[in-house]
């Protein structure tokens, strides 16, 4: 037996498939009295406690939780590190919000000490909210990504990030050039991509802030290195879409700009996609690209309602994203609460098992990491959460009335937030204790 073997006993729930593909009942596994066994940072067994316990040595270290649910760690497929200090900025929609609040806030990351301080706050906040993997925008400054990866590496977290590439239509103090963005991104890739559990994402901010030359070089980076990610924004706001048409009149539409510069692919994640058309969804699906659905941000910035059923029709990979600081909470539970309302406003439903899928396995699939994270299958990384049924008096009382795991899960996602996350484990290590 390995010295680092540990077991965790509680109710355990994880997604094993997309409910849209297999139906709700076949989409999850639930163990009312479950046991999760962790060896050297990886899950080695999952099952009913009554079945697994007799197979284990009598002296195994078991932590037993009452009134708690173990789930995979949450995956946030879209968030901005340098916007931590401006969450909840008043009054504007996307383009004015960027100019009024976002760019000045991001400019502070020219200072490495500031980047270090915010990276620390940001990672603590992710872990407090149960997010164990995130796809993260830095600022235009490479040091924002260095600070983030240095902090993530210390905790052996699985994280993906990139330096923003932005060479036009932004203040001079915050732009790079096509050439410098290529050179700086390359240096970050060489330093971080594939180091431990870290991955690099080529990060053109969005089409309006990159010249054709910069987009060309972004595409070139993707061909130069295997398994790189690409993240950007798309079709979030109607004025933004009009602006893209003016800037790229030769292209068929917004997605076609990215397609032309070869930025679509299996590791490409496009945030928002609120106003995508049918053809664009089909092209995203065809190329294996993913969408990050960002409901709190889409409400807060007045961007619109994401059409999840259309994405499902095209079998498009969809994850969920907080989009802090356009989004208003680091909590994926709170983000799912808003996602439910997005569907209600469109006359549709969001089953709690689909929500669980979006925040875990669906996110992992969007990132092509389902063999490592987003579920609790033996052989995957031991990134998991302990959710506390008694996190608040109201939650405790409400859950006493719940009749089954579907109701429990839905109430956790409706009333839950950071307080619900009792513990967060990453690679088998306790990285947050409430
Ligand atoms: N589009 C371009 N940049 C941004 C950003 O920082 N946040 C959001 N929500 N949309 C963007
Ligand atoms: Zn964003």
Assigned domain for 387 exists: yes
**Nearest ligand for residue 298 CA:** 1
User: Same domain for 269 and 324?
Assistant: yes
Establish whether residue 297 lines the binding site of ligand 1, counting it when its CB lies within 6 angstroms of any ligand atom: yes
State the pairing for strand pair 429-433/421-426. antiparallel
Both tokens of residue 203? 């990060």
User: 269: closest CA among 80, 78, 79?
Assistant: 78
Going from the Cα of 89 to the center of ligand 2, the distance in angstroms, rounded, reads 14
pLDDT digits (tens, 9 = 90+) for 223-256: 999 899 999 999 999 999 999 999 999 999 999 9
Count other Cβ atoms within 10 Å, centred on residue 397: 10
Sheet harboring 42-48: ordered strands across?
Answer: 42-48, 28-39, 6-15, 62-72, 384-388, 421-426, 429-433
Cβ atoms of 9 and 49 within 8 Å: the answer is yes
- CATH number of the domain to which 296 belongs: 3.20.20.140
Q: Give distance in angstroms: CA of 102 to centre of ligand 1.
A: 8
For the residues 368-383, what does the mean pLDDT come to? 98
Range of the domain at 281: 74-330
The answer on 241 and 105 residing in a single domain is yes
Residues 15 and 84 in one domain: no
Q: Is residue 368 part of a domain?
A: no
- Where among 330, 345, 363 does a domain terminate? 330
Domain boundary (330, 346, 365) is at: 330
Confidence band for 269, pLDDT divided at 50, 70 and 90 = very high
Shared-domain flag, residues 166 and 213: yes
* Nearest by Cα to 237 from 162, 297, 167: 297
Structure tokens at 280: 């664009």
Is the residue at 354 inside a domain?
no
C-alpha to C-alpha distance for 231 and 162, rounded to whole angstroms:
8
pLDDT bracket for residue 3 (50, 70, 90): low
Same domain, 67 and 89: no
pLDDT for position 4: 85
Instruction: Say whether pLDDT at 382 is over 80.
Output: yes
Based on the domain organization, do 280 and 318 belong to the same domain? yes
Instruction: Find the CATH number of the domain harbouring 412.
Output: 2.30.40.10
**Mean pLDDT value of segment 65-89:** 98
110 and 67 in a common domain? no
Best of 94, 204, 324, 328 for a ligand 1 pocket test (most atoms within 8 Å of beta carbon)? 94
Does residue 336 form part of some domain?
Answer: no
**Domain co-membership, 318 together with 422:** no
Q: Which two tokens stand for residue 303?
A: 């961007």
Q: Is residue 101 domain-shared with residue 54, that is, in the same domain?
A: no
Residue at which a domain ends, from 330, 355, 386: 330
Are 168 and 87 in a shared domain? yes
Looking at the structure, tell me whether residues 326 and 265 fall in a common domain: yes
Whether 233 is in the pocket of ligand 1, judged by its Cβ within 6 Å, is yes
Burial class for 107, CB neighbours closer than 10 Å (0-12, 13-18, 19+)? middle
Gap from CA of 98 to ligand 1 centroid (Å): 7
What number does the ligand 1 atom closest to the CA of 209 have?
Answer: 2
How many domains is the chain built from?
2
Q: Residues 230, 259: one domain? A: yes
Output the residue whose Cα is nearest ligand 1's atom 11.
233
Average pLDDT over residues 52-63: 96
């Amino acid at each position: 037996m390995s010295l680092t073997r540990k077991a965790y006993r509680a109710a355990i729930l994880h997604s094993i498939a997309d409910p849209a593909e297999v139906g709700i009942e076949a989409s999850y596994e639930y163990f009312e009295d479950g046991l999760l066994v962790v060896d050297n940072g990886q899950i080695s067994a999952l099952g009913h406690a009554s079945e697994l316990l007799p197979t284990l040595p009598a002296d195994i270290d078991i932590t037993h939780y009452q009134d708690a649910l173990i789930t995979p760690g949450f995956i946030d497929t879209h968030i901005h590190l340098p916007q931590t200090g401006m969450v909840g900025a008043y009054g504007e929609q996307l383009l004015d919000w960027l100019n009024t609040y976002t760019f000045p806030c991001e400019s502070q990351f020219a200072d490495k000490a500031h980047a270090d301080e915010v990276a620390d706050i940001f990672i603590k906040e992710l872990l407090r909210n149960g997010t164990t993997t995130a796809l993260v925008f830095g600022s235009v400054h490479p040091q924002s990504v260095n600070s983030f990866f240095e902090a993530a590496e210390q905790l052996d977290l699985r994280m993906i990030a990139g330096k923003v590439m932005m060479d036009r239509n932004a203040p001079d103090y915050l732009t790079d050039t096509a050439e410098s963005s290529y050179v700086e991104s390359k240096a970050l890739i060489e330093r971080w991509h594939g180091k431990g559990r870290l991955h690099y994402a080529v990060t053109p901010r969005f089409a309006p802030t990159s010249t054709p030359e910069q987009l060309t070089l972004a595409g070139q980076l993707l061909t130069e290195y295997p398994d790189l990610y690409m993240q950007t924004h798309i079709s979030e706001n109607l004025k933004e879409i009009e602006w893209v048409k003016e800037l790229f009149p030769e292209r068929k539409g917004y997605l076609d700009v990215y397609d032309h510069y070869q930025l679509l692919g299996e590791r490409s994640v496009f945030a928002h996609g609120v106003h995508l058309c049918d053809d664009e969804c089909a092209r995203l699906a065809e190329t294996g690209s993913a969408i990050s659905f960002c409901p709190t941000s889409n409400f807060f910035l007045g961007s619109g309602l994401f059409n999840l059923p259309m994405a499902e029709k095209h079998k498009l990979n969809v994850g969920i994203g907080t989009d802090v600081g356009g989004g208003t909470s680091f909590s994926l539970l709170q983000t799912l609460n808003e996602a439910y309302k997005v569907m209600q406003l469109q006359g549709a439903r969001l089953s709690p098992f689909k929500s669980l899928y979006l925040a875990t396995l669906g996110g992992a699939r969007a990132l092509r990491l389902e063999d490592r994270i987003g579920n609790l299958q033996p052989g995957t990384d031991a990134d998991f959460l302990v959710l506390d049924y008694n996190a608040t008096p109201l939650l405790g009382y409400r859950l006493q009335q719940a009749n089954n795991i579907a109701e429990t899960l839905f109430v956790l996602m409706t009333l839950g937030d950071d307080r619900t996350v009792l513990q967060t484990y990453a690679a088998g290590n306790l990285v947050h204790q409430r």
